[in-house]
A and B are shown apart, each in its own frame.
Chain A
Amino acid sequence: AQKITQTQPGMFVQEKEAVTLDCTYDTSDPSYGLFWYKQPSSGEMIFLIYQGSYDQQNATEGRYSLNFQKARKSANLVISASQLGDSAMYFCAMSLQNTNAGKSTFGDGTTLTVKP
């Protein structure tokens, strides 16, 4: 079974500063994908970034980067130059990549508040 742990229920960051949201995962399967989603107060889950277990380089998407440390089983999200609109709930998720997989296991999320 897969498990995602997000140990920070809430985080605060000053506008324009960088912030790291922690995520650790557990699986015995060698082939998996790691995802981060943003959920604003409106409720819709927004895909942010993906990292495959065999990817050699850390994923980046604009202001988002994923600090992937496979040996430590961690996949932390780094948001650079925080904006007020980044205030939301952030979820880390994992899915296996064998043929009949694709469903995701989510952590319980981290609430990020950006202060002006």
Chain B
Amino acid sequence: DTGVSQNPRHKITKRGQNVTFRCDPISEHNRLYWYRQTLGQGPEFLTYFQNEAQLEKSRLLSDRFSAERPKGSFSTLEIQRTEQGDSAMYLCASSARTGFSYEQYFGPGTRLTVT
């Protein structure tokens, strides 16, 4: 069990550029989640997948954000035309049902800085 991995760990980009992040979940987990975390706050839900289906997308997520999970394995999160307000830590988590619990296991995150 290698855990959830995310790449890159850090990304610095100029305003207006597009960025893409990758998340590789724990292999047997069918659910994958994306969260955004800003300094001093808890993670904020962005979207989640069950296998390859995107089941929910936060209303806070603008049209500049898109996520995919082809074949139900790894996932990508793309931000188009980045803005300074997009600077945050982007966290990926995966889970599998254990009884009634969907406890989530998080990756190390991708820290995005938009200059």
A47 to B91, CA, bound (A): 14
A33-B40 in contact given A44-B106, A102-B95 (Cβ < 8 Å): no
- From A52, A100, A103, A105, B101 is in contact (CB under 8 Å) with A52
A interface residues, tally (CB under 8 Å) = 28
Mark each residue of chain B from 98 to 115: 1 if its CB lies under 8 Å from any CB of chain A, else 0. Answer: 011111111111010000
CB of A76 within 8 Å of the partner chain: no
Chain A contacts with B in 30-78, Cβ cutoff 8 A = 31, 33, 35, 37, 42-47, 50, 52, 54
Q: In the complex, which residue of chain B has the Cβ closest to the Cβ of A107?
A: B42
Interfacial chain A residues near B102, Cβ < 8 Å: 33, 95, 97, 101-102
Question: Chain A's nearest CB lies how many Å from the CB of B31?
Answer: 6
Interfacial chain A residues near B108, Cβ < 8 Å: 42-44
A107 to B37, CA, bound (A): 11
A102 to B32, CA, bound (A): 10
A70 to B33, CA, bound (A): 27
Do B40 and A108 have beta carbons less than 8 Å apart?
Answer: yes
Do A44 and B101 have beta carbons less than 8 Å apart?
Answer: no
Mark each residue of chain B from 46 to 88: 1 if its CB lies under 8 Å from any CB of chain A, else 0. Answer: 0010100001100000000000000000000000000000000
Known: A91-B42, A102-B95. 14 other contacts (CB 8 A): A4-B42, A44-B106, A44-B107, A45-B93, A47-B104, A52-B99, A102-B48, A102-B104, A103-B33, A104-B43, A104-B45, A106-B35, A106-B44, A107-B42
